[in-house]
Structure 1
Amino acid sequence: MATGEGGLRERKKRETRFALSQAAIRLTLERGWENVSVEDIAAAANVSERTFRNYFTGKAEAIVASHVERGRRTAEALRERPAGEPLWDALVNALVAQFEPPRPQASDTPPPGYAAALQKLLAEPAVQYEVFRAHATAQDELTAAVAERTGTDPADLYPQTVAAVVSAGLGTALSRWARNPTGSLGALLREVFDGIRAGLPDPR
């Protein structure tokens, strides 16, 4: 019973973190970095400023928390993939599931000015620092999941290398999409990883 309650509490904490992160992203893209306060973010997520401070040290950490959560979910999804599925198929399917909605909707199309606002937000030094930290956290989570799936140790070179390659591929796709956020991010991720799995042959 206690374990179940602990799991429920942890899930609710993650949901609150994600809601705060989504509110922070939405508000800063709409109003600009300088025009959004911690109080604004907390109000948008229907929590107190004190609750926000329980989860994050500031706006930048809140904004990047969505990426941290997606990294955690990717590792969890990899663990849930069929045991007989080839590793890279399982990795790509687990990753794409975090970015590709089951049913595309009209609301998924970014509004005018979204790309410029996103580029400006990602150029903030505080956000860049948190993105660096988030990549490291996500890579550690994935390393552990790859090690479990392959029967290796997280300290071994193989799972660390696989996780690093996934992180680089994801970062490339996200950077490309951020410059022109139209079309399917899932399709772009699959294109990137198709090239990686093929050994990145000479395009000529």
Structure 2
Amino acid sequence: MAPSDDGPTTRQPGLRERKKRETRVALSQAAIRLCVLHGWDEVTIEQIAAEANVSVRTFRNYFAGKAEAIAASHLERMHRVADDLLARPAGEPLWDSLLHAVLGQFAPTDNSPPHHARWREGVRLMLAEPALAGEIVKANAAAQQELAKAVAQRTGTDAERDVYPKLVAAVVAAGSGVAVEHSLRADEPEPLGAVLARVFEQLAAGLPVP
């Protein structure tokens, strides 16, 4: 049977899996929202659980603490990037598909909170928190594994034995991170979508010397 123009098929998660994923996302987003708006030291696990409308016990069933909960948002977002990549048209160039997938998850609208000065400053402070660094590294490693699987499926390579899907996943993760950092720390606020577009344009061109 010929492959569909709609791209490779993906397994749809079951109801229980979706509910668990939704709870993880709600807790992670609540942790980020509270820590960005009120500061790392001012936010408790009890407050995060209440913000997400779950019990503290439920929070502890998913996360060991605030740092793990916040880092989980990055992993979830990269899961969605991988899902979006596989949903792109099969004939579309890989880097075009990756740009669309990343933009859809990192910069869905120009009116998203990261473009507000108070939010940007809060995110900068949160990301500078030492307790978060180790969890971000772990989440990023897991995210790259998931994205590598999607790249391998998209390109007909092997995520375990071939270097290419791992390299692409690592480059996408690094490029996205650089774009976020640049957008947050620029002297003049710059929409993340515009920065991501420039980053992926240069990546697709092979990073030519300026």
TM-score (norm 1): 0.90
Change (3 A) 1:160 1:90: same
> Which residue is equivalent to 2:59?
52
Aligned counterparts of 2:42 and 2:18: Cα–Cα separation in 1: 31
> Which residue is equivalent to 1:166?
172
Residue type of the alignment partner of 1:17: R
Q: 8 Å contact 1:109–1:182 — kept in the other structure?
A: no
> Which residue is equivalent to 1:85?
92
Q: Structure 2 matches for 1:84-163, cutoff 5 A?
A: 84-101=91-108, 104-105=110-111, 108=113, 110-155=115-160, 156-163=162-169
Change (3 A) 1:195 1:118: same
Task: Specify every segment of 5 or more residues in structure 2 that has no aligned partner in the other structure, as ranges.
Answer: 1-10
Task: Specify every segment of 5 or more residues in structure 1 that has no aligned partner in the other structure, as ranges.
Answer: none
Q: How many residue pairs are counted as aligned between the two chains? A: 198
CA deviation vs aligned residue, 1:70-115 (integer Å, no higher than 9, x gap): 01001111111111111111111111111222x544x646444333
Residue type of the alignment partner of 2:131: A
CA deviation vs aligned residue, 1:109-167 (integer Å, no higher than 9, x gap): 64443333222211112211111111111100010001111111102111111111111
Aligned counterparts of 1:114 and 1:194: Cα–Cα separation in 2: 27
Residue type of the alignment partner of 1:125: P
TM-score (norm 2): 0.87
| Residue 42 (structure 2) pairs with residue 24 (structure 1) | no
Instruction: Kindly state the Cα deviation for residue 29 of structure 1 after the two structures are TM-superposed.
Output: 1.3
Instruction: Kindly state the Cα deviation for residue 198 of structure 1 after the two structures are TM-superposed.
Output: 1.4
Residue type of the alignment partner of 1:152: T
Alignment equivalent of 2:21, drawn from 10, 14, 22: 14
Q: 8 Å contact 2:88–2:97 — kept in the other structure?
A: yes
> Which residue is equivalent to 2:3?
none
Aligned counterparts of 1:175 and 1:133: Cα–Cα separation in 2: 18
Q: 8 Å contact 1:23–1:41 — kept in the other structure?
A: yes
The percentage of counterpart residues that share the same residue type is: 56
Q: 8 Å contact 2:113–2:119 — kept in the other structure?
A: no
